[in-house]
Structure 1
Amino acid sequence: MYRKAYQELLNWKNEEKGKCAIMIDGARRIGKSYLALEFAKNEYDSYILIDFYATPDEVKEIFEKYLSDLDTFFLRISAYYSVNLYERKTLFIFDEVQFFPRARAAIKYLVADGRYDFIETGSLLSISKNTKDILIPSEERHLKINPMDFEEFLLALGNESLLPVLKDSFEKKIPLGQALHRKAMDLFRLYLIVGGMPQAVKEYVESKDFERVDRIKREILELYRNDIKKHAKGSELKAEAIFDEIPAQLSKHEKKFKISSLKKEARMRDYDDAFMWLNDSRIVNICYNADEPNIALKMNMTRASLKCYLADTGLLISHAFDENGIISEEIYKKLLFGKLEVNEGMIFENIAAQMLTASGHKLYFYSKSDNEDASSRMEVDFLITKNKVTARHNIQGIEVKSTKRYTLASLNKFRKKYEEYAGSCFVLHTADFREENGIIYLPVYMTMFL
């Protein structure tokens, strides 16, 4: 399956020519190892894959003893894996490098040697125990991998002909038309429920069996729970409580995470480490409230007010409907056709967060409560900055609507109050493209173009 990150790896290989390693960073089961292996097979004369999750002591011993003598180091590694090494044409893959931090520290010397290229893959890379007693190499470029986006999903399904039509509609600001819009929405709903975890997408492409897809997603969710229990030391109970509470929090009208739902006397500061762990593990996407919607959103954010989305919306659906184990084929089909009586607002807002994250945006929202002045009381789902900064109007507000009937009271108040800061604003909805009164009504599947 095609991943856009492949082109990033190709750019790294051609531009750096061995001057730095590249670290593929992402959540578990996101496809890091698969991507690195496909790249190695296609772009190099030979490669050595070292999986540090199951590496024997003999290999670790080579790292411990021979880094000061790289000729011997490479000779022994080559002999152990029975792979010939070719200068500038061999790639080393250090897979799951977090399980052997010594190998990550060795990158400094291996890159300086210059003979070969190095790709590292890892999860939970910023967790303190995975960096203890090592110097993080400066010769390390990072490539973050997200769940497959809608474009990659369409390519996996063989619908590449639709992509240029969607992009053309977005760029020219013209509607798709009823037939094409309906087709795009049907495929987007399929993306919503299957999700972007490569293993789940592969299963759907091969079997078209929703129950088998759901089983894979539940295995991933269980893997995440086990990671929390094993690695979130000191915060495991709080992180697990947050993880389990995500669907309930997102199903509410106001989707800000209410920490009191976990424990009556709880305070957000008591759970700060747990939220940070979940964010660092790439299991969730956290969206912070920006008190002032100007160009410096990060400077105006508050950690005491946040929304917590699951990083993959397909996983969210399996997570939310878990009362009876595997979700039946019938429920999936009702979700696919929008016939299930469920709050789709949480699903659409979660996918918007996922798509904005995949496009490189940090997530912020705007929320203001004022009991005395109704004109100041508002909540805008997301705030993003324009890609080209100008003197004014650099912030774009985004509202997500999952139904055909909706109001824009908050967005209109936001535009009026912050007219100096606010540029064009977007409504992500299930209808076709249109533009009215400075608001762009964007089909939700076009979020990937923002």
Structure 2
Amino acid sequence: MQFKRTQIEALLKWKKSKTRKPLILQGARQVGKTSLVKTFGKLYFKDIAYFNFEEEILLKELFESTKKVDILIKELSVIHGKKIEEDTTLIFFDEIQECNSALNSLKYFHESKKKYAIIGAGSLLGISLGKQISFPVGQVEFLDIYPLSFFEILDSTNNKLYKYAKKINTIEPLTELMHSNFLNEFKNYFISGGMPEVAKKFTQTLSINEADKILKSILKSYNHDFTKHTNKIDAIKIGYIWNSIPSQLAKENKKFIFQTLKSGARARDYEYSLEWLIKSGLCYKVNLCKKPFLPLKIYDDLSAFKMYVHDIGVLRVLSGLEANLYLQKHDFFTEFKGDLIENFVLQSLKIQFSNDLRYWTSEGKAEIDFILQYQQEIIPIEVKSGKNTQSKSMIVYNKKYRPKLRICYSTKNLSFESGLLNIPLYLIDRSKDFIDLILYQL
């Protein structure tokens, strides 16, 4: 089964750009960067010249021996087995973080003014780039790759529902039958998450055990990265933070508390480990917003934040939650952990909006799960695991700041009333469209 990735459109836009630069794909391990580029190459190029710096030792020697583009292309053509052509051959440097010289060579390719189409990708690339003191600013482009969204999977598993969802152009409730069908499909995503290998296995077999085997294997690979790419002390600290995220999110107050990691733990002792997880793409950090005014960034309280995981399936297994225990429950989403749903909302919104999300509190009396800055509007967002969308925190926020638009994600049907837009969880990938529609009408 081949999932259609929406980022293909971004790659095509990059290909057609008259000012195209070498492109670097960033994202966590196993989110599908390699398969995405190979699919893109097959669709839009005559040839793909694939080079893996983890598997081919001679590549590193080549890039360390010269900076001349003509020589590099000549030698790469020999390795590839055919001539690499400008514009019609996609050059793909996989695991490029394994070779600093290859990373730095991207600026020489750009400066050469030749029309070679080059994409670099790799695991932990964000960390490698952070170490590249001489890395050419402005000489490359970046594209973030995330786990599969619900819609990307739905497009393959139930194309009729997917097309129906894409055609919705009014904020009105769906029929109860449609609403129920969408919730049933979404339940499967909630179990498997969006890691491509896991989603493929689960959609083919509907076996939670098989999906969980792969998820547990992915977790092992992450733990291996902790020890392989850092020293022993930092690896232990990274592990402390990573393994604490489920319990941190399960608290009523989800603010990340360092003291829960171990007795006497202090924030300054874990700064590097925290940044490592964020730059690796495994975790997302959501800062506290002291005041919900424009621009949000200047009102960040950097001492208070929440931590989330990049994929809901990974978080579920990291939390030790057995999906089989909840699958037969009458109200699956109410029974299941609400913090997983909150994590799902964040990972889905990260794909759609360029601005980072924040959260807001009011002297311990109220907490808004997320705050979004979009089109000069500050939009408060609440997440509910059931159909009850009443929120004391949202009432407090609304009285204090009177926002044009408020959003609640829940299992309740699509609706808009008195400034509150309720988006059912299964339509979260249409959030930007619905917000645009409402703001245009206001």
Name the structure 1 match of 2:43: 42
- Note closer, same or farther for the CA distance 1:429–1:167 as it changes in structure 2 (3 Å cut): same
* Greater shift in the superposed pair: 29-38 or 104-113: 104-113
Kindly, what percent of the aligned residue pairs are identical? 28
Distance 2:189 2:214 in 1: 15
For 1:269 and 1:103, locate their aligned partners in 2 and report how far apart those are by CA, in whole Å.
34
In structure 1, the residue matched to 2:216 is 218
CA change 1:414–1:339 in 2 (3 A) is closer
Q: 1:81 to 1:270 in 2, by over 3 A?
A: same
**Deviation of 1:344 (Å):** 2.2
Residue equivalent to 2:381:
398
Q: How many residues align?
A: 426
Q: Partners of 2:215 and 2:38 in 1: how far apart?
A: 23
SS in 2 for 1:126: helix
Equivalent of 2:369 in 381, 384, 403: 381
| Alpha-carbon shift at residue 197 of structure 1 (Å) | 0.5
| Separation in 1, partners of 2:389, 2:41 | 50
Q: CA–CA distance in 1 between the matches of 2:234 and 2:303?
A: 18
Q: Are positions 1:199 and 2:197 aligned together? A: yes
Tell me if the contact between 2:63 and 2:102 (Cα under 8 Å) persists in the aligned partners.
yes
Any idea what SS the aligned residue of 1:287 has? strand
Does the aligned pair in 1 maintain the 2:193–2:314 contact within 8 Å? yes
The residue correspondences of 1:48-447 to structure 2 (distance < 5 A) are: 48-56=49-57, 58-68=58-68, 70-113=69-112, 114-127=114-127, 131-132=131-132, 134-136=134-136, 138-157=138-157, 159-169=158-168, 171-233=169-231, 235-321=234-320, 327=322, 330-331=324-325, 333-334=327-328, 338-339=331-332, 342-360=335-353, 361-369=355-363, 377-386=365-374, 388-389=375-376, 394-405=377-388, 407-419=390-402, 422-447=403-428
Following superposition, the deviation at residue 83 of structure 1 comes to: 2.0
Q: TM-score, normalised by structure 1?
A: 0.89
Query: What displacement does 1:255 show?
Result: 1.8
CA distance in 1 between counterparts of 2:77 and 2:193 reads: 40
Contact (CA 8 Å) 1:101, 1:134: kept in 2 or not? no
Equivalent pair of 1:214/1:318 in contact (CA under 8 Å)? yes
| 2:308/2:343 contact within 8 Å kept | yes
Alpha carbons of 1:380 and 1:54: their partners in 2 closer, same or farther (altered >3 Å)?
same
Separation in 1, partners of 2:315, 2:400? 35
Asked whether the equivalents of residues 357 and 373 of structure 2 are also in contact (C-alpha less than 8 Å), the reply is no
Contiguous gaps of at least 5 residues in structure 2: 432-442
SS of match in other structure, 1:256: coil
Q: Aligned pair in 2 of structure 1 residues 133, 399: CA closer, same or farther (>3 Å)? A: closer
User: For the residues of structure 2 that align with 1:16 and 1:315, how far apart are their CA atoms?
Assistant: 39
Correspondence for 1:374:
none
Query: Following TM superposition, by how much is the alpha carbon of 1:262 offset from its aligned partner in structure 2, in angstroms?
Result: 1.2
Mapped partners of 1:124, 1:59: distance in 2? 19
User: Measured at CA, do residues 225 and 334 of structure 1 come closer, stay the same or move farther in structure 2, by a change above 3 Å?
Assistant: farther
Q: Is the 8 A contact 1:102 1:134 kept in 2?
A: no
Kindly tell me: are residues 407 and 80 of structure 1, through their superposed partners in 2, closer, same or farther at Cα, counting changes over 3 Å? closer
Alignment correspondent of 2:17: 15
Change (3 A) 1:343 1:267: farther
Letter in 1 for 2:50: L
1:396 CA drift (Å):
1.0
| AA aligned opposite 1:188 | F
- Report the Cα offset of residue 264 of structure 1: 3.5
- Classify the secondary structure of the residue corresponding to 2:182: helix
**Offset of residue 230 of structure 1:** 2.4
Contact 1:47 1:93 in 2 (8 A): yes
Q: What is aligned with 2:437?
A: none
Secondary structure of 1:127's match? helix
Query: SS state of the match for residue 414, structure 1?
Result: helix
Q: CA deviation at 1:129?
A: 7.8
1:152 maps to a residue whose letter is: E
Q: Hey, what's the Cα distance between the residues in 1 that align with 2:144 and 2:86? A: 28
CA distance in 2, matches of 1:148, 1:129: 24
Counterpart CA distance in 2 for 1:42 and 1:424 is 41
Change (3 A) 1:192 1:86: same
The Cα shift of 1:213 comes to 0.9
Deviations 1:366-406 (A, max 9, x none): 01225xxxxxx2100011123x22xxxx2111111112346
SS in 2 for 1:235: helix
Which amino acid is the alignment partner of residue 182 of structure 1? S
Partner deviation per Cα, 1:311-368 (whole Å, 9 max, x = no partner): 100111111126xxxx57x336347x64598552111111111111111241210012
1:273 deviates by 2.4
Report the TM-score when normalising by structure 2: 0.90
Residues 153 and 201 in structure 1, CA contact (< 8 A), matched pair in contact too: yes
The code of the aligned residue for 2:338 comes to: G
